[in-house]
Chain A
Amino acid sequence: MLTAAARKWRSFVVQQGQVVALDPTSRARFNLEKANILLLDDTPMGMAILVQIVTGLGAKKLHRCTDVEMAKQVASNTQLDLAIVDALPPSGAGYGFVKWLRNTAQEPNCYTPVLMTTAHTPRSDINRARDCGSHLIVKKPIAPIVLLERIIWVSKEGRPFLFSGDYVGPDRRFRDERPPGGVGRRREDAPASGPPPATTPSDDETASSASSLT
């Protein structure tokens, strides 16, 4: 029988031996309908792209913010479940917003999972990007499957949140435990030779095809 952790990984595929990506053909379900999602992007084109992707993924409660002040207003008045924040180049004001969210916003919003989107990080901004307190950075152009994978990733509980003198945010030291070396999905295993065991239900039956991703 599969452990819970192993079952969780069934919907993932290992690509190029390194990158773990969500299988775009997976029938596993997820529900973003009730999630309050803050979107911050100051360009109409960037916002339009983000909105189309996130609504396609089933989100309905979107808070579209075109500047940091608007985002602060929303974060002060609404319980957020997720924030997708552009770095807002060239000023990098998006990093400042995330820092504000971590340091100033009330609980539970200070713990909000934050995905930073960035088209390009100038060398002068690399430290800000690392230290602002976001969970993950998503490079543009954004593919829907990548964004969904990141959303599911940041929703995982158990990553400690750190309050130290100059850094507030998710612990940057975390380990991504993948399936043991070279092991792929069970459904891709070669069929066993010989008669099937007449014991308990198989692993495939145990984890239904409509399993949750989280």
Chain B
Amino acid sequence: MSSVRFVIPKLRLTQLLKEPGGLAVADAVTKAGENLVTIRPTCRAELLALLDQAEATAKSSPETNRELIDLLYEYAVRSIGAGEICGVPAVDVALTSFCDLLDYMKTNGRFDREAIDVYLRAWRLLMSPELPAAGRDAVLAGLRQVTDRYAAD
């Protein structure tokens, strides 16, 4: 029988947060948002570089399908979060869906080149901030359908 011990630690963070000074929530959130705007250009450049790498990897066709899935997953998962900063939040949604797809393929031992290509083309398309909302939503809905086909396995 294993022993269980409970401790209620005293956290210094609790006291520090209450110290005089600091920021009002509204001011802090505004400041953080302004800070994020300053890194938008570099974020966009990095996101595009990751997309270039993903496309190049898909074209070069690594030795095994498993290897391709792993590499694409790595590019996609590292890119999630940047879309929101770059003003193209749909990219984050699409990449999360892409990661789901790749994870399903890996788990179920399946592979679908066409589905992967669809996602890469959509990623490139969604990078455009001028894309109309209706078109963007249609793309995302289509991608979700592609992934759902594998989720049921």
Contact = CB atoms under 8 A, between A and B. Distances in A.
Interface residues on A, range: 35 or more
A145 B29 contact: yes
Of A141, A154, A171, A214, chain B has the most CB atoms within 10 Å of the CB of: A141
Contact of B89 (A141, A142, A161): A141
A166 B3 CA distance: 11
A136 to B, nearest CB: 14
Q: What does DSSP make chain A's interface, helix, strand, loop or mixed? A: loop
A203 interface: no
A28 B23 CA distance: 8
B21 A33 contact: yes
Contacts of A163: 4-7
Contacts of A43: 78
Nearest to A43: B78
Interface in A31-84: 31-35, 43-46, 48-49, 52-58, 79, 81-82
A52 B51 CA distance: 23
B115 to A, nearest CB: 17
Contacts of B4: 162-164
Contacts, number: 208
B77 A90 contact: yes
B61 interface: no
Interface residues of B, number: 60
Interface in B110-147: none
Contacts of B3: 164-165
A82 B13 contact: yes
A34 B19 contact: yes
A198 B26 CA distance: 34
Interface of A: 11, 22-35, 43-46, 48-49, 52-58, 79, 81-82, 89-90, 108, 111, 113, 119-120, 122-124, 140-145, 148, 151-152, 154-166, 171, 212-214
Q: Which 10 A-B pairs have the closest CB atoms?
A: A56-B32, A31-B22, A144-B32, A119-B80, A140-B81, A141-B84, A165-B2, A52-B35, A111-B9, A120-B99
Given A31-B17, A148-B25, A160-B8, 12 more contacts: A22-B25, A29-B22, A29-B23, A31-B22, A32-B22, A35-B16, A43-B78, A52-B32, A55-B35, A56-B36, A58-B23, A157-B10
